[in-house]
Amino acid sequence: MIANGTNQTQDRLALQSRLSEIAQVPAWTEDLASRYAIPGDVQFAMDLCLEEVLSNIIRHGYAGAQDRPVIVNFTKLREGYFVIVVDDEAPYFNPLDAPELPMVSPAEQSRIGGQGIRLVRQFANTLDYESTPTGNRLRIGFSAAGPQVQPK
């Protein structure tokens, strides 16, 4: 935990680009939840969004290359509002520009999978992307109350 001189506090999780590393996330968010009074539904949303974002970075951004860094920072901005920032060094890619794939349907031909970005948009309150000098940064905001990001 890092106290940054304001009322904000930060926590950091450093991962390597292996899917097995994502298993560290629930324990990390559980610890955050107990220390920062994060409601259960917000913790669920954090776990969901992080699973989707991290797996996409690892599988697609880093294309299977292992031992590349993924840094996750948590900040409690104010009571009931939390921000998670995910930084990577993968090729530039803005996931917010990616089109949502069709929803699961009874149609035989509809694909299985591809629901990650849709889920992130529904469960996060805010989503912001920026490219950094070394890669990508995705900022995900979670509110204990209020609407989620609307899909494009």
Partner 1 sequence: MAMVIEELEGGITKVTLDGKLDIAGAAAVDMKMNVIAGSRKAVLVDLQQVSFLGSMGLRSLVAPARAIKGRGGKMVLFGPNELVEKVLKTSGTDTLIPVHHELQSALAALQ
List contacts with partner 1 (CB under 8 A). Answer: 19, 22-23, 26, 41, 44, 47-48, 51-52, 55, 103-106, 108, 112-113, 115-116, 118-119, 122-123
Which residue's entry shows tokens 């929803």? Answer: 103
Indicate the SS3 state at residue 7: coil
Smallest distance, Å, CB 85 to partner 1? Answer: 20
What are the tokens at 75? 């900040």
Smallest distance, Å, CB 124 to partner 1? Answer: 12
Q: How many CB atoms lie within 10 A of CB 28?
A: 18
Closer of 3 and 103 to partner 1 (Cβ)? 103
Smallest distance, Å, CB 33 to partner 1? Answer: 13
Residue 12: closest CA among 24, 1, 3 = 1
User: Are the CB atoms for 93 and 59 separated by under 8 Å?
Assistant: no
Closer of 51 and 87 to partner 1 (Cβ)? 51
